[in-house]
Amino acid sequence: MFDAQLYRDKEEVARWREKGPIVRFQTWLAQSNLIHPEEVAKIEVDVDAEVAAVVDFAERSDWEPVETFTRHVVAEERPAPPAPSEPSSKTVEMTYREAVKQAIRDAMKRDDRVFLMGEDVGAYGSCYAVSKGLMEESGEERIRDTPLSESGFTGAGIGAAAAGMRPIVELMTVNFSLLVLDQIMNTAATIRHMSGGQFAVPLVIRMATGVGKQLAAQHSHSLEGLYAHIPGIKVLAPATLEDARGMLWSAFQDPDPVLIFENVMLYNMTGKLAANAGAVEIDTAAIRRPGRDISLITYGGSLLKTLEAAEALAGEGIEAEVIDLRVLRPLDGATIMGSPARTRRVVIVDEDWRTGSLSAEIAARIGEQVFWHFDAPVGRVCSAEVPIPYPKHLEGASLPQGLPIPAGPEVRPTKVTITKSASR
């Protein structure tokens, strides 16, 4: 818009204009007698008229009123929450990994537009064996191995979604998602708004996140809070078998991009799942344990640790309420604010680094909205602000822990102390 074009000589620009692809193609067509001068003139007149009409329309149009500029960030018409399944007495024991696999398998059976793409998702069965066997069941057209180009295949997924397909893009680890941040933030999350609601990207992106597998500083992160910062997308963190199984299908019903973060420490978690388990709603947080003395707010891989800590507190006569956020964007303000307004104390447990984390956002909102209910300041338990170490004892010491863990010399895990006041 403001380029004075001083970095090339005008003679050089003139020489290259003669080599422009449209000029060369038009010259070739004329020399080959495939187009005639009057046809070229008509094309130019028609195109000039079309451009002039568009410019005239834009210049005569009213400016968008400020009152409506927040429209089309996400779809204005939201799908109805899925109907809960009838309770089933029959349960099936499985791992979190198998629950995710069943969700992918189910989605592919329900909708022939669904396909999975990513690095090693096909023949190898994915890094964490989530898609193992699915290529044999569904074929290479629907379980697609990709080159090692996260930005490339995520961009392809965005295009496929915009064109009417329902792709699942798997990013091997959350660290690799940083190679796709431009595609997610500047394309998938913005197309609806930039097109005035004319285009949408109903894309699902899954990725493994979290710490605990001794993958060291470059493959051990919790970046969910980074993506929860971006308008235009939905961010999910399933921490139970039911959510791992049901959130994916609900995500396919969502008209906007959905990111699903699967904590690496949950893949081997085993539990019983109802045989008829289906879709779950993806709009609210869940109270996993009711309590009256303090609210513990967490998500993802920290849920089990937080429930362990709540059980230990119960032995001391402190009844902790445990909130599983489940949905990190948009946050469920009613549940988040309602719990500490009752218990009058809150601690937020977040495996991300403290500075600029999702826990900081939640603490700020709590301070803004329910401050006058409180008997104590908001507490936060986060990871140590260091690149995640490789040695097991240092890796464990860098993370929030519900109960004491073995530690090396002079190394102790991060912990929080909660005491029961006389008034409670």
Residues classed as catalytic = 150, 219
Written as six digits, the tokens of 44 are 């130019």
Burial 318-332 (b: 16+ CB within 10 A, else e): bbbbbbbbbbbbebb
Amino acid in position 49: A
Amino acid in position 90: K
Name beta bridge partners: 236.
Answer: 260, 327
Amino acid in position 332: D
Name beta bridge partners: 320.
Answer: 294
Query: What does DSSP assign to residue 221?
Result: B
Written as six digits, the tokens of 199 are 């285009």
Q: Dihedral sign, CA of 364, 365, 366, 367?
A: positive
Written as six digits, the tokens of 378 are 């908001």
Q: Which helix (H) or strand (E) holds 205?
A: strand 204-209
CA distance 333 to 331: 6
Query: Judging by DSSP bridges, how do beta strands 258-263 and 204-209 pair with one another?
Result: parallel
What SS3 class is residue 175? Answer: helix
CA distance 240 to 269: 9
Q: Which helix (H) or strand (E) holds 235?
A: strand 234-236
Written as six digits, the tokens of 330 are 């948009």
User: Angle at CA 7, nearest 5°, toward 4 and 12?
Assistant: 105
Give Cα 30 to chain centroid, integer Å: 52
| CB count in 10 Å sphere of residue 255 | 15
